[in-house]
Amino acid sequence: MSEDYVASYYAATRHAAPTHPPLTGDVECDVCVIGAGIAGCSAALHLAERGYRVVLLEAARVGWGASGRSGAQALFGLAAGEEKTEALIGESDARRVWDITVEGLALMRELIARHAIDCDYVPGQMHVAVKPRQVTELRRWTERIHDRYGYTSLRFVPQEEVRTLIASKRYLAGTFDSQSGHLHPLNYTLGLAAAATAAGARIFEGSRALTYEAGAGTIDGAGSRGPVRVRTPQGSVRCRHLALCGNAWLGSTAPRIAKRIMPVGTYIVATEPLGEARARELIANDAAVTDINWVLDYFRRSRDHRLLFGGRVSYSGLDPFNTANATRDRMLHVFPQLRGARIEHSWGGYVDITMNRAPDFGRLAPNVYYLQGFSGHGMVLTGIAGKLLAEAIAGTAERFDVFSRIPHREFPGGALLRRPALVLAMAWYRLKDLL
């Protein structure tokens, strides 16, 4: 059978869900979706609701990758930021992208309600400043979001109020957004998969997509509208359309686009249950919190009154020695009052980043679509991306194509030097965090 889940707080507290058999033999469908994370499950759900025959292939288990392990902060916008997005595609298209991300927040809440997904959703998210210059950055960002984008759910929070909300002396100011929030990402993904199955999609776990042939037998072919055949270890899928949603785990299945993302390791710890009163003292408003350093810390409360804290990153592709203790040290830098609290869970995973930190959507052939490069903003964007992909396959591609106009470059250095080059670049950004 397929790989089990990586040991994590989310895996330990996931709801019971059916396992899905591996694909054996040959099947046909209208759309084959590869990757049963949030993007793939959302695409499968929205396509099945439109009446398409959908097959969803997952190499391991539903939600096994980043979708089921993340920091689970549901945010508007792109990791690239609004100004960079405007520079990449112009003000008009950047505004359309922004509006779609805000719609993604509403879509997440709507899917949770419509499909009764029990995933501990809590509204509220804060960005916080750790340096005086960042206070100015947050204030200007809030004003820009209000004035340029008409988004008034975000407000600036001065230091005296931040101190009443977060029991740490580290933060000098912040912002609070009532439309953003946080949730249990694995249970959310499992809920989307259940909804997709109920709508008629067929899910196969333990079924890695090894290769695909588009058109007249060409790999990563361009210009063909012929049927696509996807091969797995024990079977194959013949389909009219293919959707590649494997992100950092897609790898050699689509080598052309693999060069445009870099898997970056990130790590999270979960404390023992602290009790409601003690957990509430740490984050009084139960918001998700992240600082705005380049190498950032992020944290939130869980429903069973733990602190979930992330912040360690590895650009080398290697798991740093004793990750749990290193991440715990970062947690104690923020909350020294937790020195006696036991760490019960520690885990990591990959975030797929692009060179410009903007998402990478597009086509490898007229009937072969892909979604990747969410760069740490995937909780919301993956869900709405699945809907945009379904729209495009159904013949209304305008919103998908706005994202596909974002230009992307391959990471420099080739297979041997791309990681060392990134490590050097990240060392510079870490230095900037200290200034």
pLDDT at 414 over 70: no
pLDDT at position 427, please?
44
Q: Which domains does the chain have, with CATH numbers?
A: 9-69+187-260+356-404 (3.50.50.60), 122-180+262-353+413-435 (3.30.9.10)
DSSP percent split of the chain into helix, strand, coil, nearest 5: 40, 25, 35
Percent residues over pLDDT 90 in the chain: 80
Distance CA 353, CA 247 (A): 9
Nearest residue to 44 (alpha-carbon basis) of 57, 35, 29, 54:
54
pLDDT at 285 over 70: yes
Average pLDDT of 167-189? 98
pLDDT at position 226, please?
82
What DSSP element (H or E) covers 185?
helix 185-198
Nearest residue to 361 (alpha-carbon basis) of 323, 318, 313, 405:
405
Three-state SS for 107-126 is HHHHHHHHCCCCCCCEEEEE
> Encoding tokens for residue 85?
């997005």
Please state, in angstroms and as integers, the Cα–Cα distance from residue 45 to each residue in 30, 51, 194, 383, following that order. Answer: 14, 10, 9, 10
Confidence of residue 250 (pLDDT cuts 50, 70, 90): confident
pTM exceeds 0.75, yes or no: yes
Distance CA 347, CA 350 (A): 11
- Mean pLDDT, the chain, rounded, equals 91
Average pLDDT of 364-388? 96
Please state, in angstroms and as integers, the Cα–Cα distance from residue 309 to each residue in 26, 64, 153, 322, 346, following that order. Answer: 44, 20, 25, 16, 10
Average pLDDT of 62-85? 95
Helices (H), 259-337: 276-282, 323-334
φ, ψ for residue 175, nearest 5 deg: -130, 155
Percent residues over pLDDT 70 in the chain: 89
Nearest residue to 46 (alpha-carbon basis) of 400, 402, 373, 358:
400
Sign of CA dihedral 126, 129, 134, 136: positive
pLDDT at 435 over 80: no
pLDDT at position 122, please?
98
pLDDT at position 248, please?
80
